[in-house]
């Protein structure tokens, strides 16, 4: 993401103008935009016209629209914002509904106008514009007949292509049908790698599978690459050391999380931000197995641990920070600030990253504690705890930076899978 301008307008609102062109940029933009924000950019709109003969026609024009966001939809290839037009235009009426679409791999400048600007948004903007922090990892999770070719950035794990091929059963008399179907499967996986993975830009390409599928595929890939004198297969041969084979218990996409926990893989990724995030999640899982009294999850129990200044590491899904309810959003931001204020670390996990997917299964929030707090597990579940005085006091305290004696309670997180 490229920062073009950051300033306050005449109405006291903050205007951020950025250039976006990749899936990673769209993800950061998605994290910055909330319902109620104004977003301005160029867009295509079909305009109805009447000819001199009275016939109606339509033509597509590129216009600049500013909408007040009502709905946000994200996938790695496109960010869609639905809302109502708030900018005078010869072609679109004020209040008309429109969808702004920003696509990956298409350069576009976007202006986001926000009523409130805080340190967390400022930190996210800095991280989005920091090109050095991006991970360059790809992964192929496979079993016979099934493969997922994925790109793994510091923010996202998304499938570029899923391959499914029926594998013939092995017969004692003749195994040629099975061999042919495996060769067809491997050919499709290799084609997907060539099409979707920029080999020269990658640091690590993981081949993950149970059994010996990865070894058989690597042998097939090498044999095909040796035949090529030029082209993408030759590029694979020149970068063959980037391919790391990792044994996993499954060939599905979940194998990527298992692979990222492997010490060999982590050593290759030690210069990337994702390595720290994976280690944090692995640390929580290990603590759950070895000393469960030093682990808590669900918002209420994590809050109770924070009240005891017991949190050493906070793991939080970005979905919590995107809550449509302002009180909930401020609660989680204040919780992050409170943990940092007592010397703890905060990791914000992306719901589109393999680690974030695992955290979501545990309510989207968890913590490793400095000391055991078994009494927290005995507390009755209180679905309204966030509206009680103790939670409101946390929000009041950390919504006012001067109350903690620091200029910024929402400073840079120690680690973050956005």
List pLDDT tens digits, range 138-149: 999 999 999 999
Q: Choose the final residue of a domain: 247, 268, 289.
A: 268
DSSP 400: S
- Residue 151: both structure tokens together: 């790109």
Rounded Cα distance between 77 and 217, Å, is: 29
126 in a structural domain: no
Shared domain for 256 and 348, answered yes or no, is no
Q: What is the pLDDT of residue 88?
A: 79
**Which of residues 52, 82, 117 is at a domain's end?**
117
Q: Are residues 19 and 84 in the same domain?
A: yes
- Is residue 383 domain-resident? yes
Burial status of residue 160 (CB atoms within 10 A of its CB: 0-12, 13-18, 19 or more): middle
For position 358, which CATH number holds? 3.30.1330.30
Kind and range of the H or E run holding 7: strand 2-8
Tokens of 244: 């790391």
Strand partners, 296: 367
Least confident residue range of 122-126, 230-234, 358-362, 390-394: 122-126
Residue 328: partners with Cβ closer than 8 Å, 6 or more residues away: 320, 386
Q: Which among 205, 272, 289, 286 has a CA at the least distance from the CA of 242?
A: 205
β-bridge mates for residue 143, sequence order: 146
Tell me, what's the pLDDT at 273? 52
Phi-psi region of 77 (alpha: psi -120 to 50; beta: other; left: phi over 0): alpha
Pick 61 or 363 by higher pLDDT: 363
What is the domain count for the chain?
Answer: 3
Residue 318 has a pLDDT of 85
Q: Residue 22 carries which DSSP code?
A: S
Owning domain of residue 362: 273-416
Quote the pLDDT of residue 417.
41
In a domain, 380, yes or no: yes
Q: What is the pLDDT of residues 198-211, one digit of tens each?
A: 898 888 899 999 99
263 and 154 inside one domain: yes
Mean pLDDT (the chain, rounded)? 84
Tokens for 241?
């050391």
Residues 196, 292, single domain; the answer is: no
Whole-number pLDDT of residue 411: 33
Same domain for 402 and 329, yes or no, is yes
Whether the per-residue pLDDT at 406 is higher than 50: the answer is no
pLDDT in tens, 306-318: 999 999 999 998 8
Going by C-alpha positions, the residue among 228, 167, 242 that lies closest to residue 198 is 242
Pair 258, 329 in one domain: no
């Amino acid at each position: 993401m490229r920062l073009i301008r950051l300033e306050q307008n005449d109405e006291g609102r903050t205007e951020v103008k950025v250039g976006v062109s990749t899936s990673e940029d769209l993800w950061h933009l998605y994290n910055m935009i909330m319902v109620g924000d104004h977003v301005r950019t160029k867009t295509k709109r079909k305009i109805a016209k009447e000819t001199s003969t009275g016939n109606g026609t339509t033509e597509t024009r590129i216009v600049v629209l500013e909408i007040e966001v009502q709905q946000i939809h994200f996938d790695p290839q496109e960010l869609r914002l639905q809302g109502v037009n708030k900018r005078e235009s010869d072609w679109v009426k004020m209040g008309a509904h429109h969808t702004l679409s920003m696509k990956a791999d298409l350069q576009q400048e976007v202006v986001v106008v926000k009523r409130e600007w805080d340190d967390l948004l400022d930190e996210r903007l800095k991280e989005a514009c920091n090109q050095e922090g991006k991970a360059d990892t790809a992964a192929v999770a496979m079993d016979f007949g099934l493969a997922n070719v994925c790109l793994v950035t510091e923010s996202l794990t998304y499938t570029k292509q899923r391959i499914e091929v029926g594998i013939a059963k092995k017969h004692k008399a003749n195994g040629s049908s099975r061999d042919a179907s495996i060769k067809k499967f491997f050919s499709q996986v290799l084609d997907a790698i060539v099409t979707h993975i920029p080999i020269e830009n990658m640091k690590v390409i993981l081949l993950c599978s149970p059994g010996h599928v990865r070894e058989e595929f690597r042998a097939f890939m090498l044999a095909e690459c040796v035949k090529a004198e030029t082209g993408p297969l030759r590029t694979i041969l020149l970068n063959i050391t980037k391919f790391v084979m990792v044994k996993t218990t499954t060939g599905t996409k979940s194998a990527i999380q298992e692979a990222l926990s492997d010490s060999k893989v982590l050593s290759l990724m030690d210069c990337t931000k994702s390595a720290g995030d994976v280690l944090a999640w692995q640390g929580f899982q290990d603590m759950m197995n070895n000393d469960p009294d030093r682990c808590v999850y669900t918002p209420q129990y994590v809050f109770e641990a924070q009240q005891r200044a017991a949190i050493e590491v906070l793991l939080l899904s970005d979905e919590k920070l995107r809550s449509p309810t302002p009180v909930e959003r401020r609660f989680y931001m204040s919780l992050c600030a409170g943990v940092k204020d007592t010397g703890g670390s905060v990791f914000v996990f992306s719901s589109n990253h393999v680690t974030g997917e695992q955290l979501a299964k545990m309510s989207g929030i968890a913590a490793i504690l400095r000391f055991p707090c078994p009494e927290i597990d005995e507390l009755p579940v209180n679905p309204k705890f966030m509206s009680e005085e103790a939670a409101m006091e946390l929000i009041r305290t950390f919504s006012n930076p001067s109350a903690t004696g620091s200029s910024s309670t929402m400073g840079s997180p120690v680690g973050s899978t956005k």
